[in-house]
Amino acid sequence: MSTPALEVRNLTYSYPDGRQALAGVDFHIHPGERVALLGANGAGKTTLVLHLNGILRPSGGTVRVAGLDVTDDHLKEIRRRVGLIFQDPDDQLFMPTVRRDVAFGPANFGVQGADLDRRVAGALEAVGMEDAIDRAPHHLSLGERRRVAVATVLAMSPEILVLDEPSSNLDPAGRRELSAMLTTLDITMMLVTHDLAYARELCGRVLIMSRGTIVADGPAEQILGDERLLAENRL
């Protein structure tokens, strides 16, 4: 088997007030997999995601990306390899134009000139937003902003894309457009969602999280077809 794109072993985390959010999380994802992470509110999904590129640091256990431990020594490279797309695209879009938003990450890694222009154009083409390159992000629809947020990460040439509730608050057209775009991306993907239909549509494997640990892991059709399991986990 190949080296996992992402490997999490016995991951624990407690907040400063003593509340335990992660209680021994174990899973791995191999290159090219598309995995949905499901769980009710409070299951620990967002806390887990924030460990995947070092935003939060564990109380115990390990996170590895392509064999690299998520530690200070590797943090810059980890954050290039793991692209996080937050639920609210306005958390990621803060420049006056789409072009400058998409260029921001690679420019901070030293990419300049024609190479930077190619990165920006390629990322926007991948998400179908090349015509918006000189528009202001706040003039775009929510679905368009979400696609531009994906482009800001793709411009960094990541190995893993992690999306937090990508379909939330989208109208049906925006939902379909985002799904069609994500389907075309040739990248390892973790989709954090409450949307079971979206998970079934985009992912071949499903993890269910409850009370800070993984309680189910298997093929999407098997997990999503288990009504008792879904009900037990408030899904």
What pLDDT was estimated at residue 1?
57
Question: How far is the CA of 123 from the CAs of 99, 100, 148, 191, in angstroms?
Answer: 10, 12, 9, 19
Instruction: Record the pTM.
Output: 0.91
What pLDDT was estimated at residue 155?
95
Closest CA to 10 of 34, 27, 31: 27
CATH 3.40.50.300 fits 6-88+154-232, yes or no: yes
Could you list the pLDDT tens digit for every one of the 235 residues in the chain?
A: 578 999 999 999 999 998 999 999 999 999 999 999 999 988 999 999 999 989 999 999 999 998 899 988 999 899 989 999 988 999 999 999 999 999 999 999 899 999 999 999 999 999 999 999 999 999 999 999 999 999 999 999 999 999 999 888 888 888 888 899 899 999 999 999 988 998 999 999 999 999 999 999 999 999 999 999 999 999 9
Q: What type of residue is 14?
A: S
* Spatial CB neighbours of 25, under 8 Å, sequence gap ≥ 6: 8, 10, 11, 12, 44, 48, 61, 209, 212, 213, 214
Q: How far apart are CA 202 and CA 9, in angstroms?
A: 25
Domain chopping of the chain, boundaries: 6-88+154-232
